[in-house]
């Protein structure tokens, strides 16, 4: 069921089959006559979560430059040529509070993050999807020129560096708030496997979920009922979309195995028994 609102469509699914259709909502590109989605996706384990950044949650956006400066100073990475956008991506990747939000081109990777923590299976999950092509119309002219010259829809750190060398320069480009989507450099296999994209608001205090409602950027949310989470999780694991692949290394392997071998028999949040399923056929 699709619920229309000024804040974007909300799609409520009740089965794995309905979910498959919802994940590719509005994905047909008429100009290409192909299914080439212009959306990026973000999976959340709880519908009460919003699109706040880690810097928003810190509540001290004025500390951003100090956090980043000290991250560079103490990182022991000697690279004077590395741009602020590369440093931001690296800092986000390692858990520093930043204005960046993680997204992915893959709806299934987003679905993984919406169902990865089985301790939240008593809450409905959610996937956010934003049309990054639509977002270009809100860019300042300097960035529009660069992205059009490149024939692209999403920036790289190198493209960003052509227009702005600092976060303050970015903010001064336009009086109104705007969003930038950019692909992080391939820091490690985790970034590659997660098909990662970052979003960044020009004003670090602006809440993306609130700003979107004031724009014409297409976006939607998929509500994932808690009753579906175990079925989704098991089918994603069987499809090899799990921590073992998305977080290469021993930590990812251990996390996947911990969930894979968890005994959920008797849990209220588990999938319905075969007997009750047959009774409803």
Tens of each residue's pLDDT in the chain, 281 residues:
666 554 578 999 999 999 999 999 999 999 889 999 999 999 999 999 999 999 999 888 889 999 999 998 898 776 656 789 999 999 999 999 999 999 999 999 999 999 999 889 999 999 999 999 999 999 999 999 999 999 999 999 899 999 898 999 999 999 999 999 999 888 788 889 999 999 999 999 999 999 999 999 999 999 999 999 999 999 999 999 999 999 999 999 999 999 888 888 776 655 555 444 443 43
Report yes or no on whether pTM surpasses 0.85: yes
- Percentages (nearest 5) of helix, strand, coil residues in the chain: 45, 15, 40
Distance CA 276, CA 105 (A): 37
Please name the residue ranges forming H helices in the chain: 16-23, 54-58, 64-74, 84-93, 107-115, 141-150, 157-163, 167-172, 189-193, 208-212, 229-238, 243-246, 250-260, 274-279
What residues does each domain of the chain span? Answer: 2-276
Distance CA 130, CA 213 (A): 12
Give the length of the chain. Answer: 281
């Amino acid at each position: 069921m699709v619920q229309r609102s000024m804040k974007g469509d909300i799609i409520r699914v009740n089965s794995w089959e309905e979910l498959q259709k919802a994940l590719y909502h509005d994905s047909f590109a008429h100009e290409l006559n192909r299914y080439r989605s212009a959306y990026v996706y973000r999976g959340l384990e709880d519908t009460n979560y919003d699109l706040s950044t880690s810097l928003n949650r810190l509540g001290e956006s004025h500390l951003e430059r100090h956090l980043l400066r000290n991250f560079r100073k103490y990182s022991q990475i000697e690279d004077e040529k590395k741009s602020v956008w590369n440093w931001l991506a690296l800092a986000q990747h390692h858990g520093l509070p930043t204005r960046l939000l993680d997204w992915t081109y893959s709806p299934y990777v987003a679905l993984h993050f919406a169902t990865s923590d089985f301790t939240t299976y008593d809450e409905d999950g959610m996937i956010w999807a934003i049309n990054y092509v639509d977002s270009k119309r809100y860019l300042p002219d300097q960035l529009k020129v660069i992205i059009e010259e490149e024939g692209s829809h999403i920036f790289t750190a190198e493209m960003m560096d052509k227009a702005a060398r600092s976060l303050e320069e970015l903010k001064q480009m336009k009086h109104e708030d705007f969003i930038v989507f950019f692909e992080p450099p391939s820091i490690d296999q985790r970034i590659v496997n997660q098909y990662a994209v970052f979003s960044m608001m020009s004003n670090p205090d602006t809440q993306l979920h609130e700003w979107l409602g004031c724009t014409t950027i297409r976006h939607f949310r998929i509500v994932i009922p808690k009753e579906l989470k175990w079925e989704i999780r098991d089918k994603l694991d069987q499809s090899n979309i799990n921590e073992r692949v998305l977080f290469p290394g021993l930590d990812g392997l251990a996390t996947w195995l911990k969930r894979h071998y968890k005994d959920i028999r008797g849990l209220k949040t588990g999938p319905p028994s075969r007997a009750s399923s047959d009774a409803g056929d």
